[in-house]
Amino acid sequence: MSVAILMGSSSDASIMDDAVQTLRSFDVPVEVRVLSAHRTPDDTIAFARGAKDAGVQVIIGAAGGAAHLAGVIAAATPLPVIGVPIALANLGGMDSLLAMVQMPKGIPVATVAVNGARNAALLAIRIIALSDPRVAAELDRFTADLADQVRDMDAEIVARYATS
């Protein structure tokens, strides 16, 4: 079982690398592809339709501008789809975000923040952890480590600003 990361252009790879590395840190297999909702719609739909049978559990779709990739994927698969809106030069990703979150009824796409590749991967990991005890244990450790980091920062700040 795996996570598929699909991006509309190879220029999105610099953002999506964070998702790839996060999934790999949990030993979750990942497949990464460039597929376009507009330039290769037949390839995109064929991938989405075959993903479940290929062992994919979650699909992450990243796109900028019109940002239709995640929606097209969601329309063609029963799998959970997580959208990552990619910021472009002009509108700071607002166009991508709005395109992604305005899905029609019945075609859900969970959408993370603009350029939020790491959170997309972590959401995919949470979904997988529901049925995979190994991933669930790794997620528990990760969550505990995050809490420890905040506690360490808190102790440092308390010490720095303690009154004599």
pLDDT in tens, the chain (164 residues): 799 999 999 999 999 999 999 999 999 999 999 999 999 999 999 999 999 999 999 999 999 988 899 999 999 999 999 999 999 988 889 999 999 999 999 999 999 999 999 999 999 999 999 999 999 999 999 999 999 999 999 999 999 999 86
14-23 burial, b for 16+ CB within 10 Å, e for fewer? ebbebbbebb
| CATH class entry, domain 2-131 | alpha beta
> Is 2 within 8 Å of 32 (Cβ atoms)?
no
Taking the model in full, what pTM does it have? 0.94
Domain definitions of the chain by residue range: 2-131, 133-164
